[in-house]
Amino acid sequence: MTGVPVRLLPTEVGCRGEGPATASPGGRAPDRFHVLAKPTGAICNLDCAYCFFLSKEALYPGGRFRMTDELLERYLDQLFEAHARSRHVTVAWQGGEPTLMGVDFFRRVMAAVERRRRPGQVVEHTIQTNATLLTDEWAALFARHDVLVGVSIDGPPEVHDHYRRDKRGGPTFERVLRGLGHLRRHGVRTNVLCTVHAANQDRGLRVYRYFRDDLGVEFVQFIPIVERRDEPGAPPRAVTERSVDPAAWGRFLIAVFDEWVRRDVGEVFVSEFDAALASWVGAPASLCIFAETCGVAVALEHNGDVYSCDHFVDPDHLLGNITTGHLAELVGSGAQRRFGAAKRDTLPGYCLECPVRFACNGECPKNRFVLTPDGEEGLNYLCAGYRAFFTHVDGLMRRMAELVRAGRSATEVMALLARASRNGPCPCGSGRKAKACHQRIPVEPTVVD
């Protein structure tokens, strides 16, 4: 691993992954963009307490929530037409739970894609699933087409089952593990998506070590749960009890980073750390949430409606429908370009003066609903966590970025930490002795349930 900071995920699976896509300067659609297609809309076989998609069912009262074959063909026609100048096309599925469509639907997807793929064109298939419905048959199909499968797991069983329950309130962990087992047996590429919330926010190390040591996970992305309370009478800017606490989110990332940077660089790929290193190297953001602007990752509903982003599936962000307009026109529309630019143009002054803005960029606009210390609107709810995290990693990110710029491997940072004199200053720049800083084996405080 030389020259490349740390291996970025081939394609992120999930609503925040639009890394390889590029924005177009003019009034047309970019040559490459990301569509998260939701063939079952918000419908899912589970009932996870924090799932924001479930409420989206209300957008389509009486709807059938199944993408028809006719719509599938139209969608793929438009997707490939829009990518005529691109060597890469991503075909991404999410839900709800997309596997509810049945394995035959995805067989037809693969066949339909092959009919459209130009010689030499690289198609990246991705799907995000809770994995509970996966069988050998699914895994064989995914393996045959090299599908990157994102599996939602929140940590070890006692943590995962806290919020991730089925419709009868039962636990789901065992079924997820069974699904993951099928994928593993067939050699399918997987990426764990782990949401961070009140039930696991203080267990970063435990969660990370469980993924690494017990599940052998190589790729993981952490997603903070931020749910606004919208019931009548709720205080303004209030969040649910399940939501992650901003400071705890920072501590979670720091705990995982300090473990990772001592021993796992180049072995385990954490999206947030890859994205941070890209920022320190001066490369484009690999996660949309940390990019300066957004707008090149739209959501496609089961009926052909296209929304600005999977996090903005609401009437105000409906761009149109692919049965009456072309996907490329919708992605290149003025409304979508304004949506993307607003991420940069609406940053409060507090962010504009922030020393880690180059890495954070105010994160996702959906979380910008609190006041800055001087009372300005539009600060990100998670700001305290991100400030703490990006400040904490600054020293070692600089070291890794220097290595990369010198054509060396970022993995050398581990040897740098290990070789430092125990009583000398830690290479991270904290000012503490190495033995009391990154040479110390981190221990997580006991969490009392």
Which of the residues are catalytic? Answer: 310
Minimal distance in Å, beta carbon 338 to ligand SF4?
13
Minimal distance in Å, beta carbon 353 to ligand SF4?
8
How far is it, in rounded angstroms, from Cα 93 to Cα 187? Answer: 20
308 Cβ contact list (under 8 Å, min separation 6): 295, 298, 299, 317, 319, 335, 336, 339
Pick the piece of the chain touching ligand SF4 (CB under 6 A) from 173-181, 256-264, 274-282, 383-391: 383-391
Sheet with 122-129, edge to edge strand ranges: 269-270, 219-224, 190-196, 148-152, 122-129, 88-93, 34-37, 297-300, 305-307, 318-321
Respond yes or no on whether the N-terminal peptide bond of residue 96 is cis (omega within 30° of 0).
yes
Give residue 449's identity as a one-letter amino acid code.
D
Which is nearer to ligand SF4, 104 or 376 (by Cβ)?
A: 376
The one among 53, 75, 257, 350 contacting ligand SF4 by CB under 6 A: 350
Cα distances from 254 to residues 127, 250, 438, 449, in angstroms, run: 29, 6, 12, 22
The one among 8, 9, 13, 15 contacting ligand SF4 by CB under 6 A: 15
Minimal distance in Å, beta carbon 292 to ligand SF4?
10
Which is nearer to ligand SF4, 183 or 354 (by Cβ)?
A: 354
Which is nearer to ligand SF4, 41 or 340 (by Cβ)?
A: 340
Binding-site string for ligand SF4 from residue 274 to residue 293, where x marks contact by CB under 6 A and - marks none: --------------xx----
Neighbours of 113 (CB within 10 A): 18
41 Cβ contact list (under 8 Å, min separation 6): 56, 57, 60, 63, 65, 95, 96, 301, 302, 303
What is the size of the binding site for ligand SF4 (CB under 6 A)? 25
Pick the piece of the chain touching ligand SF4 (CB under 6 A) from 44-52, 171-179, 343-351, 413-421: 343-351
Contact status: 226 vs ligand SF4 (CB under 6 A): no
Which is nearer to ligand SF4, 215 or 291 (by Cβ)?
A: 291
Sign of CA dihedral 421, 426, 429, 430: negative
Contact status: 248 vs ligand SF4 (CB under 6 A): no
* Burial (CB count within 10 angstroms: exposed 0-12, middle 13-18, buried 19+), residue 345: exposed
Binding-site string for ligand SF4 from residue 351 to residue 380, where x marks contact by CB under 6 A and - marks none: x--x-xx--x-xxxxx-------------x
Minimal distance in Å, beta carbon 315 to ligand SF4?
16
Phi/psi-derived region of residue 107, left when phi > 0, alpha when psi is between -120 and 50, beta in every other case = alpha
Which is nearer to ligand SF4, 217 or 360 (by Cβ)?
A: 360
Which is nearer to ligand SF4, 18 or 264 (by Cβ)?
A: 18
The one among 163, 176, 386, 400 contacting ligand SF4 by CB under 6 A: 386
Contact status: 51 vs ligand SF4 (CB under 6 A): no
How far is it, in rounded angstroms, from Cα 314 to Cα 312? Answer: 6
Of 229, 207, 205, the C-alpha closest to 153 is 207
Contact status: 388 vs ligand SF4 (CB under 6 A): no
Tokens of 259: 């473990």
Of 193, 186, 184, the C-alpha closest to 216 is 184
Contact predicate 181/235, CB 8 Å = no
Distance from first CA to last CA of the chain, Å, rounded? 41
Minimal distance in Å, beta carbon 287 to ligand SF4?
8
Which is nearer to ligand SF4, 53 or 386 (by Cβ)?
A: 386
Tokens of 343: 């991420």
Which is nearer to ligand SF4, 253 or 309 (by Cβ)?
A: 309
Interaction residues for ligand SF4, span 302-341 (CB under 6 A): 309, 311-312
Contact status: 383 vs ligand SF4 (CB under 6 A): yes
Minimal distance in Å, beta carbon 362 to ligand SF4?
5
Contact status: 387 vs ligand SF4 (CB under 6 A): yes
Contact status: 56 vs ligand SF4 (CB under 6 A): no
Q: Which residues bind ligand SF4 (CB under 6 A)?
A: 15-16, 288-289, 294, 297, 309, 311-312, 343, 350-351, 354, 356-357, 360, 362-366, 380, 383, 386-387
